[in-house]
Chain A
Amino acid sequence: MSEDVSRNAERRRPDRAALVIAPALLLLAAVIWWDASRLSAMSNYARIGPATVPHVVALGLALLAVWTAFEAWRGDFPEREPIETVPVVWIVAGLAGQMLLLRPAGFSIATGLLFALTAYGFGRRKLWISLPVGIVLSFLVWIVFGRLLQLSLPAGPLEHLFFRGS
């Protein structure tokens, strides 16, 4: 009897966020299975074809999904510290911005923006300082790695201003 009471006290509530992981894994498994089933099994001597390993991986993921659901239901996942999403959004915006600006604006401006938004995410809100600093720093990096060490870094208006024809 006393054992039951202590177990009940120990049992944690189902971890809802962690419960989302199980269907995600299951979905991944289903996609892999579906994709592998389309492959044409050509005649080959190995007997295991291009679909064998994907099928094994899909089965493994499906089993892990069940196991994850079970653990999440029992609340066995480690406790998470609360997270702040706002800084993450700023940094992701910086990365996305760099990705989109890289071609039209060149390496220095795009990466300078990433630099400034990352610093913003970490609490440096003075964009009028961090943005120029980031662009200048990226430009120096572009000179060293792009011009001197011949790494192919896209050039934009700023780079063209100093280096014609690059």
Chain B
Amino acid sequence: MGTFEFLLQGLVVAAQPINLFYALIGVTLGTAVGVLPGIGPALTVALLLPVTYKLDPAGSLIMFAGIYYGGMYGGSTTSILLNTPGESASVVTALEGNKMARAGRGGPALATAAIGSFVAGLIATLGLAFIAPFVVKFALSFGPREYFALMVLAFVTVSAAFGDSTLRGLTALFVGLALAVIGIDQQTGQARLSFGIPDLLDGIEVTTLAVAMFAIGETLFVASQGSRVPEKVEAVKGSVWMSAADWARSWKPWLRGTAIGFPIGAMPAGGADIASFLSYSAEKQFSKHADEFGKGAIEGVAGPEAANNASAAGTLVPLLSLGLPTTATAAIMLAGFQQYGLQPGPLLFATNPQLVWGLIASLLIANFMLLVLNLPLIGLWVKLLTIPKPWLYAGILLFATLGTIGANPSVFELGILLAFGLLGFAMRVFGYPIAPVVVGLILGPMAEQQLRRALAISQGDVTALFMSPIAAVLFVLAAVAVVVPLVLRARGRGEVLSQFAANED
């Protein structure tokens, strides 16, 4: 049988009513747990996987696919509506999405996230089916130096999230980098900045920091504004649905986000968060509405959301074609597959075509189910904003702490949550952007470890960093990303100065 027949057969099995029903349950459960701030897809899948054990292989595979995509998608709703991203990959979604929601455009923001996720999931799943071998070859050519170059690129483009002040953006980034130092150094096993506290040995959990800085910091900040802020927000201004202009501004970011997210998700040290950062800065570069960024540009939601879902499918590329679990989620899936007698590895496509294509068909169905479930719910989600503030924010804190306690039931973790909540509050008061802190915490350790690995392999030879074509290209891109805006700004300033001169006359 050829590729198409297998896929078709898989789709026929997956489209049986009972399997569709399992897909719906999976998506619902996945979204319900994934929506909790602090609980990412890995924990969602680990928690819910046993639920699937009781079904037949086809049913359990499809329910699992639903849980995976549901857990991946769940975080975006709270990021957009409540400015409380639940995992690192939806931090940038909150940047523009929440601004849109506050302007009464939560409906279109949620819609572009849902449809973008669907489009990205569809294309990336098809990519998984047909071009996985090529993608995986590309992904494996990334060694430490290439990753380091990628991190450098991510660092220079992250200034897109700095807001209006370079000083405050950089300070926030460096605070994130300082937090990133905390914990055991991977290469030498020594504890850094831990002051003998065992709970700090593993560093600051990214999700805890994100929930603290965003959810708790935001709640405290809103509370401190007192009665000056109206008790209810106007949830819908204009249409709850996407307008023609929204569609026109969204489709390209969806495709670009997919193109960025899929290969980065396939990279063993990539990940949905990096994909979403790069997509956000790419959209800022490409957008005709660059001035709207930071005030609620729909491109800034469409791109990163697509990137983050495409990378979820990308993660499956090395898993299915090489048996390489590159993320915690993938490692759990690997364990899950074993119960179907599936041994992911280089021979999987050849030895177990039915199951592989069954899984891919299930992913397509689950992706579709996600859209079916979420589009009609948008109107309902937006109404969340009409809940009176005391109850809304009390509820946010309930769920934010629930996520943290569920992920790690320790009093210390709650203390961290409170401490960084206060830091997030103080930073808001002084006009510091929050996202760079989280970005620094994510990128810092990756960049450091990859650099040190690269130099250890080359035995201290720095020039070796630039001796690979991919790394060289990435470094050049990074240099361009630094230089071009500087040139543009210099020219822009020139214009302003000449205008000044003209006024003086």
Interface residues of A (CB under 8 A from B): 17-18, 21, 25, 28, 31-32, 35-36, 39-40, 42, 44-50, 53-54, 57-58, 60-61, 64, 67-68, 71, 77-78, 80-81, 83-85, 87-88, 90-92, 94-96, 98-100, 102-103, 107, 111, 114-116, 118-124, 130, 134, 137-138, 141, 145, 149-154
Contacts and interface: CB of A to CB of B under 8 A. Distances in A.
A120 to B, nearest CB: 8
Closest A-B pairs by Cβ, 3 of them = A122-B390, A46-B455, A151-B406
A48 to B, nearest CB: 6
Given A44-B456, A78-B431, 12 more contacts: A28-B175, A42-B188, A57-B444, A58-B178, A61-B175, A78-B165, A81-B225, A92-B418, A99-B418, A114-B394, A138-B398, A152-B406
B167 A64 contact: yes
B192 interface: yes
A102 B397 contact: no
Contacts of A154: 405, 409
B452 A46 contact: yes
17 contacts: A21-B430, A35-B192, A39-B185, A44-B456, A45-B459, A45-B460, A64-B174, A91-B219, A99-B415, A102-B405, A118-B393, A119-B391, A119-B393, A124-B391, A134-B398, A138-B398, A149-B33
A122 B394 contact: yes
Given A39-B192, A88-B425, A50 B187 contact: yes
Contacts of B177: 57, 60
B448 A53 contact: yes
Contacts of A87: 223-224, 226
A60 B398 contact: no
Contacts of B418: 92, 95-96, 99
A138 B401 CA distance: 11
A98 B406 contact: no
Given A50-B187, A94-B397, A118 B219 contact: yes
Given A21-B430, A47-B460, A102-B411, A107 B405 contact: yes
B430 A32 contact: no
B343 interface: no
Nearest to B432: A21
B55 interface: no
Contacts of A64: 167, 170-171, 174
A151 to B, nearest CB: 4
Given A46-B460, A119-B391, A149 B220 contact: no
B389 A122 contact: yes
A118 B481 CA distance: 44
Contacts of B425: 88
B129 interface: no
A83 B224 contact: yes
B402 interface: yes
B389 A95 contact: no
B318 interface: no
Interface string B177-190: 11001000101101
Q: What band does the interface of chain B fall in when counting residues whose beta carbon is under 8 Å from A? A: 35 or more
Contact of B429 (A80, A124, A138, A150): A80
Contacts of B192: 35-36, 39, 50, 54
Q: Which of A67, A94, A95 has the most CB of B within 10 A?
A: A95
Nearest to B407: A151
A91 B398 contact: no
Contacts of A118: 219, 223, 390, 393-394, 397
A62 B453 CA distance: 28
A157 B424 CA distance: 34
Contact of A40 (B190, B399, B451): B190
A10 to B, nearest CB: 14
Contacts of B328: none
A36 B451 CA distance: 18
B88 to A, nearest CB: 20
Contact of B174 (A36, A61, A77, A119): A61
Q: Which of A25, A53, A111 has the most CB of B within 10 A?
A: A53
A115 to B, nearest CB: 4
B10 interface: no
B181 A53 contact: yes
A40 B227 CA distance: 54
B430 A85 contact: no
Contacts of A42: 188
Contacts of A122: 223, 389-390, 393-394
Given A95-B414, A99-B418, A145-B402, A150 B47 contact: yes
B422 interface: yes
Contact of A92 (B174, B181, B220): B220
A83 B225 contact: yes
Nearest to B504: A3
A100 B145 CA distance: 46
Interface string B19-52: 0000000000100110010010000000110100
B409 A153 contact: yes
B197 to A, nearest CB: 13
Contacts of A17: 430
Given A71-B167, A87-B226, A114-B401, A45 B456 contact: yes
Contacts of A121: 223, 390
A123 B389 CA distance: 9
A32 B181 contact: yes
A132 to B, nearest CB: 13
Contacts of B399: 141
